[in-house]
Structure 1
Amino acid sequence: MTGQIFRGNGEPHDWDMPPAPPWRQFRGQPIVEHPYHDNWAADYPNELERARTYQAHGREIELVNVALLLRRPLLVTGRPGTGKSALAYAIAHELKLSPVLRWPITSRSTLQDGLYRYDAIARLQDANLQPGQSPASIGRYLQLGPLGAALLPYERPRVLLIDEIDKSDVDLPNDLLNVLEEGEFRIPELVRIADTDNEVEVGIEHASAPVRINHGTVRCRAFPIVVMTSNGERDFPPAFLRRCVRLDITEPDHQHLEAIVRSHLGAEALAASTDIVNRFLQQRTTGELATDQLLNAIFVTMHSDVTHANDRSELADLILRHLNVPD
């Protein structure tokens, strides 16, 4: 693919988004300025490290750009530890769209958790404690969730990570369909008062300032870059899959593993740990291992007092234990 927006090289660069397909154009108004703190390196050093060291393959780069061009969510499937979540941080870092909005999914997650939270109890308590006074704005008790914040009408898209969606209740993927298709949602608590208060300021987690919601509706302008990860623990309905660009991240081969070790720990660490890399590859043929186990094993052997080869192997084996085999 020519004219790639995401290059996968870890280098931030300027870019321009080609026009959206006619069926994926959004016109949210008014434009919202970036409401987040920009000091990503200081506030989120672990996320920045994951972004800088991510090693993207050609196929991954191609499918990320397909999702960007089509304004469609990217459904990333793979075994634990293959870097699915790190891809979202790599995109945000390279396209200068940090910080990432992250929505970790559990079996109790609902669509409203991702869109917004309304603390009706706190509002009632405040009203009872201050009788005779004008009530505080309802916006004080509303806070947009990561999905809701991603759908605000930004000029540039936000990166949203919906992590481990396969752990959700069976209804959540279907509940997401309309929001991801239309790029908008309504907040009923604000819609009901739109005739008398058509513009309300609401908060966003980790944001430096509130944002204004008009007539109770949040409608995107630049469709967010949505990365949904799955460990492959369940199947998704066809209607959901049809709206996604699907990327399956396979286990890295020998060459790719070396590139990962080099990017995280340096060339010297790789040169001194070829035995551990080979041991990892050998043990991976008989059971499930994650790439971060290899990085941990190399780091531990580098920073321990062990020098004998057998002792190094024993120390590495404490970490390189199969994930799918009980102790």
Structure 2
Amino acid sequence: MSRRATVSHSAASSQDPGSAAEDWWVFRGPAELPEPPPWRNLGGSPRPSGMQQYLLSPEHVAVVNAALHLRRPLLVTGRPGTGKSSLAGAVAEDLGLGDVLRWPVNSRSTLDDALYRYDAVGRLREASMERERRLARSAPRRLRHRARGRHSDIGDYLRLGPLGTALAATDRPRVLLIDELDKADIDLPNDLLVVLEEGKFEIPELARLPEEQQSVNVLVTGSRKRVQVRRGTVACTHFPIVIMTSNGERDFPPAFLRRCVRLDLQDPDENKLREIVRLHLGDEALDDAEDLIQNFLQRAATQTLATDQLLAAVHLRLTGADLSREQLVNTVMHRLDEIFPG
């Protein structure tokens, strides 16, 4: 008997042979994977019209527009699951600005991570190989084929990070998401503020080049495209749309806050939860979701939960999940402010 066909007695005995629930099995069940949830359809077919909408009140829309007019970073605060990170994608889609540049921040992040990376070791290795090629040119003809290779310059070993790429954009602004900035080292927000205020930064490795090499084509984040950097300085033509998120784990310096437009996203109420379910899963999902919505609201009053946990529970039910409501709640709607026992 194949391993896939082996099902434990306890699992098999929980349902009748040939029951509809077995159609839901993937692991030790059918060999074909099901369609992903609409919000997890990464790189797949386009989602139906309306699925990509982002729910914001008119007051919140006005705050976003204020940041756009002022060319100021938008600092979005709120509990996990309130849609802070998704706002960047909604703005980029609405304005037709392409893919979002993302910089996920943690306690080890530095400003240089977001500006550019320089592969000094790779360039040193290439320089060594170039010396070998020069020596090989004087070798016998039968050995010269080993010396063939493409000469590279310093631009091949530099890649702009997400912030650097956003500042280097020339044809239109880019949307930059700086996610969970409150996890950063205490000095990072002020370091970031300097670059955003000036709209430019210097790459020392390029600034030190001789005059005849002062124009270098450098790789950007997310593609093999290049931008031209002159005299070692990246200066923005279009100020990027910067959206920074915070879960409120720490306070920011007053000087930093003064230069941001702030948007606080509150937990969704009952009506907004229904609208979120409808937009992501369709009108027909609401009837199946009502008890899960009520359960979510009751639990969220005393626990930390995220809206996408509710969506996951509803999606599993719609796909015929072989799980009771209690199992759904324990599986995907568990509290986020609890440390699980070891």
Secondary structure at the aligned position of 1:161 is classed as: strand
**Structure 1 residue 184 displacement after superposition:** 0.6
Report the CA distance shift for 1:202/1:56 in structure 2 as closer, same or farther (over 3 A). Answer: same
Secondary structure at the aligned position of 1:304 is classed as: coil
Aligned sequence identity (%): 52
Counterpart of 1:239 in structure 2: which amino acid?
A
Secondary structure at the aligned position of 2:229 is classed as: strand
Report the CA distance shift for 1:292/1:162 in structure 2 as closer, same or farther (over 3 A). Answer: same
Residue 325 (structure 1) aligned with residue 325 (structure 2): no
Q: Deviations over 1:97-137 (max 9, x none)?
A: 01111111111111111000011111111111220668631
Residue 187 (structure 1) aligned with residue 203 (structure 2): yes
Q: Give the equivalent residue in structure 2 for 1:312.
A: 325
Residue 197 (structure 1) aligned with residue 210 (structure 2): no
Report the CA distance shift for 1:123/1:284 in structure 2 as closer, same or farther (over 3 A). Answer: same
Q: Give the equivalent residue in structure 1 for 2:239.
A: 223
Counterparts of residues 198-277 of structure 1 (less than 5 Å) = 198-277=214-293
Q: Give the equivalent residue in structure 2 for 1:84.
A: 84
**Structure 1 residue 43 displacement after superposition:** 4.5
Counterpart of 2:246 in structure 1: which amino acid?
S
Counterparts of residues 82-121 of structure 1 (less than 5 Å) = 82-121=82-121
Q: Give the equivalent residue in structure 1 for 2:185.
A: 169
Secondary structure at the aligned position of 2:52 is classed as: helix
Counterpart of 1:262 in structure 2: which amino acid?
R
Q: Give the equivalent residue in structure 1 for 2:123.
A: 123
Distance 2:47 2:215 in 1: 35
Counterpart of 2:95 in structure 1: which amino acid?
L
Distance 2:299 2:73 in 1: 35
Q: Deviations over 1:166-222 (max 9, x none)?
A: 111111111111100011111111111152212101111322421111111111111
Report the CA distance shift for 1:302/1:316 in structure 2 as closer, same or farther (over 3 A). Answer: farther
**Structure 1 residue 274 displacement after superposition:** 0.7
Instruction: List alignment gaps of at least 5 residues for structure 1.
Output: 1-40
Aligned length: 284
Instruction: List alignment gaps of at least 5 residues for structure 2.
Output: 1-40, 135-150
Report the CA distance shift for 1:44/1:138 in structure 2 as closer, same or farther (over 3 A). Answer: farther
**Structure 1 residue 316 displacement after superposition:** 3.0
**2:73, 2:242 within 8 Å by CA — same for their partners in 1?**
yes
**Structure 1 residue 294 displacement after superposition:** 0.6
CA RMSD in angstroms comes to 2.4
Secondary structure at the aligned position of 1:131 is classed as: helix
Report the CA distance shift for 1:47/1:196 in structure 2 as closer, same or farther (over 3 A). Answer: farther
Counterpart of 1:212 in structure 2: which amino acid?
Q
**1:47, 1:89 within 8 Å by CA — same for their partners in 2?**
no
Residue 286 (structure 1) aligned with residue 302 (structure 2): yes
Residue 302 (structure 1) aligned with residue 318 (structure 2): yes
Counterparts of residues 4-83 of structure 1 (less than 5 Å) = 43=43, 52-83=52-83
Deviates more, 1:227-236 or 1:121-130: 121-130
Counterpart of 2:318 in structure 1: which amino acid?
M
Counterpart of 1:217 in structure 2: which amino acid?
T
Q: Which has the greater radius of gyration?
A: 2
**Structure 1 residue 317 displacement after superposition:** 4.0
**Structure 1 residue 287 displacement after superposition:** 1.3
Distance 2:312 2:60 in 1: 25
Counterpart of 1:243 in structure 2: which amino acid?
R
